[in-house]
Amino acid sequence: MRKSCIAAALVTTGTGTGTGTDTATHITSKHQGAEPRRTIWLIGGWRKPCPRISSVQICLIYPAFFTIFPRATCQFCQGALGNSPHQPPKDGAADKMNDDLFHHGGAIDLAAKRYGIALDQWLDLSTGINPLPYDIGDIPVEYWQRLPLARDLEQVLGAAEQYYGIPVSGHIVCAPGTQALIQLLPFVLAAKMPIKKVAVFGPTYGEHAPAWQRAGMFTTEIQTTAQIRQHVIAHLQMMPTNADAKASLEASGWQSPHDNPALASAIDDHDVFVIVNPNNPDGGVTDAKTLYDFANHLQDRGKYLILDEAFADTCPENTLCGHIAELENTVILRSFGKFFGLAGMRVGFAVGAPALIADLADRLGPWSVPGPALHIATQALADKNWQQKTRENLHHQANWLDEQVLRATGTGAKLLGGTDLLRLYAWPGLPALQQHLAQRGIWVRGFAHAPTWLRFGLPGTQANMDRLATALADFQMLG
């Protein structure tokens, strides 16, 4: 195969069945109650204009992936005619349980029912939550007895501004988890501007697109691999000064949106763009400069950028929080529970323009975050020694996990990416590995739309590391 792109297109109507995988880029537009979608496939570059249809899926496959993952690429092409990654086919109670198991990490109660192992016997590695949480210490009884005071909220916001590097006050709101903010944002933004279409970069956290769909908007999923996501984002700006990035992509055979009318017209139609950085589940990181330029480009055109930085604590150099005063049309979401290992507290933050932050605070209402949670978060956000030691420990465990998984699969598995809180692997034998681990009470995250993927969280304690290492060694012997 020549190095330049090989063009091919397949146009279909209706739906089919199949599964996606990890080797391509595609766009899927969805809307509740929409007509059966049409699918347009692009392998490499395609210069023909996009048909004027209400629901379109555009796929771009990076040429090198044909050489590295030929079988997976074919599976992806077949799967594209089926269901969206966000909505796998549902058929009966068994399929419902299967969907629930794969929809999010942390579903060990369902895993316990399926495999007949007591809940307290499970080692849950299916999330990206720090397994060694911040020590909450003794919480003064007053935080349990009274409603949260304005002082409590001011203290946690001040600590968050310092931790996230926000230069001025009034740009941050505290909420009961970022999920609450994800569900509120479509309605807050819709009150400020007309929104018809929202582009979500994926595959990613599965709650962003449904939140916009529930608010009545079309969503378009722009799927890329971790390796080329930054190049795609850079090219969406279609800026002639971006010559270096354009030359780099074109040298590899990928056509920029400026030269690709189908993709360019799709981009022009969107009002809001959602990017998770680092991305979940592949951990792909787009550098701050690229995102800053993209945010400014969208702002100049009256469009919004929603930047989900839930996993950014392990790479704080890539946050845009320090530039938020300049980016009036950017909203940044920050999760407290993942890095600090306290997801059950349900604390999250939105960073943005003061007027939008005030609207979010108004919709959240008073006392939306409990007093004990505000107290703990204030302490944790200010504890720099714990944060530094935790980053070092997580990095060490992530490297250890890679070594263990790759050894157990005979180097058959490929590390698709990850952060220091989660690792994503691809290998046709991974479903068997997931079953092997589940039968031993170890739960890792599978994906209904990508059955050759497995995502591992970190084991945390030495005892858990030993348990996982033993189970992986047993799998290696069976293989």
Peptide bond into 186 cis (omega under 30): no
Whether residue 63 sits in one domain with residue 37: yes
The answer to whether residues 49 and 188 belong to one domain is no
Amino acid of residue 263: L
Bridge pairing between strands 330-335 and 304-308? parallel
Q: Is the pLDDT of residue 235 over 90?
A: no
Question: If we measure between CA atoms, which residue out of 198, 325, 184, 348 comes closest to residue 274?
Answer: 198
Whether 354 and 407 map to the same domain: the answer is no
Laid out side by side, the sheet with 453-457 consists of 414-418, 422-426, 453-457, 445-446
| 131 in a structural domain | no
- Least reliable range by pLDDT among 6-10, 48-52, 142-146, 200-204: 6-10
The structural domain count of the chain equals 3
- Residue 476: what pLDDT? 85
Q: Do 217 and 337 lie in a common domain?
A: yes
- 4 within a domain of the structure (yes/no): no
pLDDT in tens, 369-397: 999 999 999 999 999 999 999 999 999 99
Q: Which residues contact 29 (CB under 8 A, 6 or more apart)?
A: 37, 55, 56, 57, 197, 218, 219, 220, 221
Q: Are residues 369 and 286 in the same domain?
A: yes
Instruction: Decide if 227 contacts 15 (C-beta within 8 A).
Output: no
335: tokens are 């999760």
Quick one: pLDDT band at residue 237, thresholds 50, 70, 90?
Answer: low
Last residue of a domain, one of 368, 383, 398: 383
Q: Give the percent of the chain with pLDDT over 70.
A: 71
Name the amino acid, one letter, at 10.
L
Helix (H, G, I), strand (E, B) or coil at 20: coil
Is residue 210 located within the same domain as residue 329?
A: yes
Average pLDDT over residues 439-468: 94
Q: Which residue has the tokens 């969206």?
A: 84
> Who contacts 431 (Cβ-Cβ below 8 Å, separation ≥6)?
446, 451, 452
Examine residue 208 and state whether it is found in any structural domain, yes or no: yes
Residues 308, 226, single domain; the answer is yes
Amino acid 429 reads: G
The answer to whether residue 130 is domain-embedded is: no
Is residue 309 assigned to a domain? yes
Q: Model pTM?
A: 0.78
Are the beta carbons of 201 and 270 closer than 8 angstroms?
A: no
Domain containing residue 411: CATH number: 3.90.1150.10
Mean local confidence (pLDDT), 283-289: 93
Residue 234 pLDDT > 90, yes or no?
Answer: no
Question: Higher-confidence residue: 72 or 131?
Answer: 131
Kindly report the number of other CB atoms within 10 A of residue 462's CB atom: 8
- Same domain for 67 and 165, yes or no, is no
CA distances from 391 to 299, 326, 342, 419 (A): 34, 29, 16, 11
Whether 213 maps to a domain, the answer reads: yes
Q: Which domain holds residue 211?
A: 142-383
Which range is least confidently modeled, 34-48, 157-171, 173-187? 34-48
Q: What is the pLDDT of residue 252?
A: 46
Residue-wise pLDDT for 70-117, tens only, equals: 333 333 333 333 333 333 334 444 444 555 565 568 889 999 999 999
The 10 Å CB-count burial string (b at 16+, else e) for 38-55 is bbbbbbbbbeeebeeeeb
Q: Are residues 310 and 172 in the same domain?
A: yes
The set of residues, in sequence order, having a beta carbon less than 8 Å from that of 200 and lying 6+ positions away, is 208, 209, 212, 219, 220, 221, 222, 273, 274
Mean pLDDT, rounded, of the chain: 79
Which H or E run contains 446? strand 445-446
pLDDT average, residue stretch 120-148: 97
pLDDT at 224: 76
Three-state SS for 122? Answer: coil
What DSSP string runs through 72-110?
HHHHHHHHTTS--TTS----HHHHHHHHHHHHSTT-HHH
The 10s digit of each residue's pLDDT in 9-56 is: 222 223 333 333 333 344 555 555 443 332 233 333 332 333 332 333
For residues 361 and 431, state if they share a domain.
Answer: no
For residues 197-225, give the mean pLDDT.
Answer: 91
Least confident residue range of 61-70, 128-137, 160-169: 61-70
CA–CA separation, 437 vs 475, rounded Å? 8
Does the pLDDT at position 226 exceed 80?
Answer: no
Grade residue 479 by pLDDT with cuts at 50, 70 and 90: low
Q: How confident is the model at residue 313 (pLDDT cuts 50, 70, 90)?
A: very high
pLDDT-above-90 percentage for the chain: 62
Residue 285 burial class via C-beta count within 10 angstroms: exposed 0-12, middle 13-18, buried 19 and up: buried
Q: Using alpha carbons, select from 216, 221, 205, 214 the residue that is nearest to residue 183.
A: 214
> How far lies 299's CA from each of 46, 293, 302, 328, 444, in Å?
29, 10, 5, 7, 40
Range 211-230 average pLDDT:
86
| Structural domain includes residue 136 | no
Q: Of 328, 354, 383, which marks where a domain is finished?
A: 383
Residue 452 shares a structural domain with residue 309 = no
Query: Residue 6 domain-assigned?
Result: no
Q: Are residues 191 and 261 in the same domain?
A: yes
Residue 354 has a CB neighbour count (10 Å cut-off) of 16
Instruction: Fill in the DSSP letter of residue 215.
Output: T
C-alpha 7/C-alpha 185 separation (Å) is: 38
pLDDT surpasses 80 at 286 = yes
**What CATH number is attached to the domain comprising 209?**
3.40.640.10
Q: What is the pLDDT of residue 17?
A: 32
Contact predicate 155/378, CB 8 Å: yes
Strand duo 272-276 + 304-308: pairing: parallel
Last residue of a domain, one of 383, 407, 440: 383
Measure the CA–CA gap between 130 and 132, rounded to whole angstroms: 5
Q: Any idea which of 63-67, 102-106, 337-341, 447-451 has the lowest mean pLDDT?
A: 63-67
- Residue 39 has a pLDDT of 29
Q: Which of 20-29, 320-329, 411-420, 440-449 has the lowest mean pLDDT?
A: 20-29
Give pLDDT, residue 222.
82
